[in-house]
Amino acid sequence: MLKDKRNFKVLLVYPNLPLMLVPPLSMAIFTDLLKKKGYVVELFDTTSYIPEEVNSSPQNRTTYLQARDFSDEDDLGVSIKTDLYGDYKKKVLEFKPDLIIYSIVEDAFIKALKMMDVIKDYDCVKISGGVLPTADPEYVLNTKQINFIAVGEGEITLAEVCEAVRKKEDLKTLKGTWFKDDSGKIHKNPRNKLVDINVSLPDYSLFDPRRFFRPMGGKIFKTIPVETYRGCPYKCTFCNSPMHNTQVKQENIAHDFLRRKTIENVRKELLDLKKLYSPEFIYFVDDSFLARPKKEIFEFCEMYEEFKIPFWFNTRPENCKVDYLKALKRVGAYRISFGIECGNPDFRQKVLLRKPSNQQIIDSFKTIHASGIAFSANLIIGFPGETRELVMETVELVRQIKGYDTITVSIFTPYRGTVLQKIAVKNGWLDKDHITIHTTSSSVLKMPKPYLSSKDIDGLMKTIPLYVYFPKSEWKNIRRAEENDDEGRKIYEHYSSLYKENFLKGNQEDKKILMDESLDKQPVRAKQPEQLNGNSASIDKTFKNKKLSNSEIALLTMNI
């Protein structure tokens, strides 16, 4: 018997890393779409669940001096849960969905598979979509738990899947889906066309209201994510965003994956979100907010005068012009994140495919600093083929950037769908079947010397903010603090406490005490106990950017 839409139940499942902040836009868009179709929709979000092996990226950021301390329970009001799999099974058995939709990123894939295992005997259609199934659909379908996936954007596909399930129609020919038959053979349907991102609006009503609170610059805000465009115009080899452009071109779906909402539609969305959720902060999730025409930037600022709600965005330093930043600050730009990633220009330009020179980066940050908008500098270490020398070049570059509020250091994560993941596999530094965890866990690359080991990378990740902040006269001790032994931890705690006291304190508006390399009388030297003088080798104070050889470039690229 055909089910009425009003009785057709869809369960959205979001397997997430513990306590990763800000609700996902995809789940909110799917909620809006499915509700408008008339279905009964509920959500199971794993964000508040802490597993036995607690290793939360947001909290790791505070441990490693990349963010100010905060409490999930006291500051964000998060109720910590532990029985993820028991609660999930109970949810399914009580709700009795006709269709379960999993949205999967690579970091949470293993968790998702375990969740599927606990309800393996529950009989309904289950489909998995998201970044990982799109990046590597065959890998996902080769797991025993999954036999039906959506590839590419989900809006059109999920609407069609819901109706086919409700009407008990054949699912095997639906566009945008792949499936595995009983013999294990994988069947591939063509993708759906790209969606019009101006049409759908996010509906966050299924999320726990406490999920909207997050720290920004040392303050806690009720934060709503907003998308103004989808896709990215750049080709960074460590990122999986470029794969979308490649895929739509290869399959003749579109010339470009990148689409932007009209400024008027952004305005309408903001009006709705303001009315429904009363946000204190807007979190623009675009890959690079200022990678858009100049005219559109000023149209946005003129429109946003109506709101003036503080906001954050991510962009690239070379896209920041004086007049842009002045206009953005006037209408509420509170904080910006910038990817610098690597300080060696050869490596950055030829391996990572990021074009600006070091001098251009430094000049851009002079403009950014002068704007008065707080910003963070984002770095990645542990790239395939990276040495300690290259990491210290990154330190040297950031030391020339003035005005940053925080430094964020991530360990290179070999996500499927990225060029560098393929390069790591090609060189035998990564198992082709490896699934990543997250960007503050230890490196999984197994590289021979002179490249960095996982232990080297762990030590550097936690000390880079110290190398940047303190004068080079302290580097010998900071080098010893990289070691994870009693003495190393003691030294690290000493410098960390000084860094937090002098620089990373209060909120982004508080005045910082800066270290001046030319002065010999530093606060740290007056407080430094003699026993902190470790036995590490002396630090070479000379600095020169390394040039990559042709053989190194060949090793670290794939004819890109």
Give 164-196 pLDDT, tens digit per residue: 999 999 999 999 999 999 999 999 999 999 999
Write down the pLDDT at residue 78: 63
The pLDDT score that the predictor gives to residue 379 is 97
- 217-544 under CATH 3.20.20.70, yes or no: yes
The parts of the chain modelled with pLDDT lower than 70 are 18-21, 51-60, 68, 70-79, 438-440, 516-543, 559-560
pLDDT at 526: 33
* DSSP 8-state symbol, 49: B
Q: Give the per-residue pLDDT at 242.
A: 94
Instruction: Specify whether the CB–CB gap between 316 and 339 falls below 8 A.
Output: yes
Place of tokens 């299924």: 206
Distance (Å, whole) CA 10 – CA 499 = 49
b vs e for 481-513, b when ≥16 Cβ sit within 10 Å of the residue's Cβ?
A: bbbeeeebeebbebbbebbeebbbeeebeeeee
Tokens 């990373």, residue? 504
179: left (phi over 0), alpha (psi -120 to 50) or beta: beta
For residue 120, the model assigns a pLDDT of 95
Q: Is 466 helix (H, G, I), strand (E, B) or coil?
A: helix
Domains in the chain: boundaries: 5-188, 217-544
What distance in Å separates the CA atoms of residue 434 and residue 445, rounded to the nearest whole number? Answer: 10
DSSP-assigned states of every residue in 343-357 = S-HHHHHHTS-----
Residue 67 has a pLDDT of 74
Question: In the chain, what's the furthest Cα-to-Cα distance?
Answer: 83
Tokens 């090609």 -> residue: 426
Dist CA 97 CA 10 (whole Å): 5
Please indicate, yes or no, whether the overall pTM of this predicted structure exceeds 0.75: yes
pLDDT tens-digit map of 132-159: 999 999 999 999 999 999 999 999 999 9
- Domain 5-188 of CATH type 3.90.180.10: no
Using only C-alpha atoms, what is the Rg of the chain? 24
- Closest by CA to 461, choosing from 401, 497, 505, 411, is 411
